[in-house]
Structure 1
């Protein structure tokens, strides 16, 4: 515990009020900081009062105080709200400035309860057990009928998507860390997305032996949720590193693109089109190697001579034939590869515009503008990959073999690359074992600030989820 003088101040600034026609009450949003990690909890006055009564009995000499309950009058009168906020502010300041109080079990529970309750998203609720709307989904050979959510300690949300969340989880019986993808069956079935989810499972099952694709260990289900137990890749998103550094030197970009091309070529050999290559789906492992993840948009059964017409992908990286809603094949992945290479070298996708319609028009019609700072071989492969006519695009004739033979990769020994014998140009700063992750998350340091929110219970849930959307993936060392 830090010295009292080093603890930051706390404050309770104002926020807006929202009302429910049937019931409303005051809820306080409390931000908690542990090193570089932050989360928030929601607390009603009654919970502050309960903590106060516990602490004042055990620490009478502290003379702790909180605003008294109001028996008569309007609890939502602005002046009353202002006075209560100030009183709770002083109460919190006393707690965080006193090491013994800050380490008290009830204070720790007060801080962590919502955080832990949030991870009930990863477990089976009582309501789920009584649900009659859910049904079993065939998980195929990956299904483990003996696995259950209580096999894991869910530590941290590391991703969020349309159907659920991805958690960093520690398996209890061996202490190993995994990324557990938890999907809501109801949402999947309501949107008729079961085929896409099973396609992702099928792709994951085929990826286990490839060095640059995330592996699925097994899957299981409860009444209302699906669970995919995946490799935990702790070097962070390529997007994170690219945002921080803006561009990569060409040798570093070449290394990453070579590993991506190897992974895409492997998928194509299985008649799978990835369709959603972008920096957010490209992770680095702890050694600095590329790992592709998130196979929700993969299309199975597409050989080099087959096509599909589904409009999907990320706008900045969509190939012209996809925008035109024309039949397309695995060459859309080589377009995406060129877009990612361009972004790594120059900081933005090749045809980017804040105006989506203008960006689409650029992708369809604007010539690729040559920019300074890249080698002639880099420009050559960019021109080949970003050819607007898919039938003339690099990779359209002999797929990955055509890519690997390009002069841009003349310095790459592909056998060494795929055996991970080539040292990565960058090693992420990560904790190797994460053995202290849970311990650090439980170590309460300080209330950073408290925000009063006046919302219904439902609206609290919405506010919580919207805040989580800001985080797509967190590097392991951010857990410290």
Structure 2
């Protein structure tokens, strides 16, 4: 059903277009799979395994996927669907060579571009405590239990669990609680849980980044208590309206750029900017979610090499498997802005290999009807040479000083003193009209709200989630 809706939209916007792509981690690809031949999923759902931690309403959670095309291509991607693509290679790949996938090998941020087998920002597993519980570190919230919440509705699903609208029994506060099965995560050797949690802990005070309120666990499950954001994905609204006028696109692009600039100031590269990861809050402000592909510790002059992202938004240097820096995020911003203005990503094709050819070699084509400032910004952000790309030298400062953003008062923007161009008109926290009924009509499992009597779990599950839990102060909550 969601597949059909997305396909119908794409057919209206672009002849011969029936799908955008979703991808999942390379460690799910069987040993010996050739990187140059994509394995296309027949499922076509919008669940992604690329981010085990996302706020309610992110691509992992919501509907309308463009189904993967059933064509065999010679693209650079190994296994693709709609969503985040991660090629986690154990060493630098050789074009056309067979490649087994054994976890996610990150290159450390280093100008020498060494490859190493450590996970992106994930701590090394440590032995579990004597009682079998996961050691939760200094940020533990030892008093949190599933029974603290009334779990009201399923609002999203992923490969590792579900996201639920939950109401805290003591104070009536609504949250998006993501519940993940430890066994599922361990089975797929998912190492980005802790990395994403680490990035989330840095984001709690930025107005356009989703906040992690706290996290806790039972022997079988991990619980992320997140900001509840029910204004819908930017993609959801773009799908409905097809394209935005420049003032509205400028507002969203400015808030997203502010969030990306803040991440860069923390030496974090986001790497997966797309409309599905941009939510609107109840007032219409942007909330950036899904930090599963973030890379921490990248200084301004340093690079990383992991082949990851979402196919439509991959920068040329990533496709060329070259070392890249934070300029990849500004390419993605350009692609998202282009899509907001024109309805599809700038180099989109139903044929994956053709789309990659377009990204690498096709000159940017901007349809008429746009201002000179908008065209100039798109050309700057979508420059194929990362060294010449807008933002490659002074980072966010170059973006905010571009003439396209001259109507924006950045201080007012940051403090949310600017009125959003669109109001989602949600009636309150219980208003779920911006979530897919396929999720909200699903029954809530009773096990989610139960606290098991047993305290210990298997040592394997225990040692894998050390330092997981986190508790935050009350002064950081969203306004809505």
Q: Does 1:317 align with 2:313?
A: yes
Give the CA deviation at 1:140: 4.0
- Contact kept, 8 Å, 1:142 with 1:205, in 2: the verdict is no
1:89-128 correspondence runs (5 A): none
- Out of 278, 282, 288, the residue aligned to residue 282 of structure 1 is 278
Q: What displacement does 1:305 show?
A: 1.1
Q: Match of 1:153?
A: 150
For 1:182-223, what per-residue CA distance to the aligned partner results, in whole angstroms no more than 9, with x for missing partners?
Answer: 1221222233223x1111111111111000000011100111
Q: How far apart in 1 are the matches of 2:306 and 2:165?
A: 32
Which residue, out of 182, 186, 192, partners 2:189?
192
Residue matched to 1:255:
251
Q: Secondary structure at the match of 1:156?
A: strand
Query: CA distance change for structure 1 residues 245 and 369 in 2, over 3 Å: closer, same or farther?
Result: same
| Aligned residue number for residue 210 of structure 1 | 206
How far the C-alpha of 1:144 sits from its partner, in A, is 1.2
The match for 1:246 among 242, 254, 275 is 242
SS at match of 2:175: strand
Contact 1:139 1:198 in 2 (8 A): no
Q: Give the alignment partner of residue 344 of structure 1, picking from 332, 340, 344.
A: 340
SS at match of 1:168: strand
**1:223 matches 2:219:** yes
Q: 1:287 to 1:435 in 2, by over 3 A?
A: closer
- Cα distance, 1:352 vs. partner? 0.3
Distance change (3 Å), C-alpha of 1:417 and 1:140: farther
CA distance in 2, matches of 1:139, 1:430: 36
Task: Say yes or no: does 1:355 pair with 2:346.
Answer: no
Q: Which residue number corresponds to residue 374 of structure 1? A: 370
Aligned pairs for 1:49-64 within 5 A: none
Q: How far off is 1:304 after superposition?
A: 1.5
2:401 counterpart residue number: 405
Relative distance call for 1:136 and 1:364 in structure 2 (3 A) is: farther
Equivalent-residue separation in structure 1 for 2:306 and 2:382 (angstroms): 20
2:166 maps to 169
Aligned mates of 1:225, 1:135 — CA distance in 2 = 14
> 1:283: Cα distance to partner?
0.3
The one of 300, 316, 326 equivalent to 1:304 is 300
1:209-239 deviation digits (Å, cap 9, x = unpaired):
0000000111001112111100001101101
Q: In the alignment, what sits opposite 1:383?
A: 379
Q: Is the 8 A contact 1:342 1:350 kept in 2?
A: yes
2:230 and 2:432 in contact (8 A); partners too: no
| Separation in 1, partners of 2:186, 2:349 | 35
Contact 2:261 2:396 in 1 (8 A): yes
Where 2:279 maps in the other structure, the secondary structure is strand
| Native 8 Å contact 1:394 1:403 kept in 2 | yes
Task: Judging by fraction of residues, say which structure has more helix.
Answer: 1
Q: Does structure 1 retain, via aligned residues, the 8 Å contact 2:181–2:221?
A: yes
Say if 1:212 and 1:291, in contact at 8 Å, map to a contact too.
Answer: yes
Q: Secondary structure at the match of 2:309?
A: coil
Q: Any conservation in 1 of the 2:230–2:429 contact (CA below 8 Å)?
A: no
Q: Tell me the secondary structure at the aligned position of residue 392 of structure 1.
A: coil
With structure 1 as the length reference, what TM-score do the two structures score? Answer: 0.61
C-alpha deviation, 1:157, in angstroms? 1.9
CA distance in 2, matches of 1:347, 1:189: 38
1:236-280 Cα deviation digits (max 9, x unpaired): 110110000000000000000000000000000001111111111
Whether the 8 Å CA contact 2:230–2:431 is kept in 1: the answer is no
Structure 1 partner of 2:287: 291
Q: CA deviation at 1:142?
A: 4.1
The corresponding residue for 1:114 is none
- 1:84 maps to none
Matched residue, 2:178: 181
Change (3 A) 1:380 1:166: same
Cα 1:411–1:425 shift into 2, 3 Å = same
Correspondence for 2:232 among 236, 252, 260: 236
In structure 2, the residue matched to 1:143 is 140
SS at 2:226's partner residue? strand
- Cα deviation for residue 391 of structure 1 reads 1.2
TM-score by length of 2: 0.61
For residues 132 and 377 of structure 2, what CA distance do their matches in structure 1 show? 49
Residue 143 of structure 1 and its aligned partner are, at CA, apart by 3.0
The 1-side partners of 2:269 and 2:357 are apart by: 24
* Unmatched runs of 5 consecutive residues or more in structure 1: 1-133, 446-480
Offset at residue 359 of structure 1 (A): 0.5
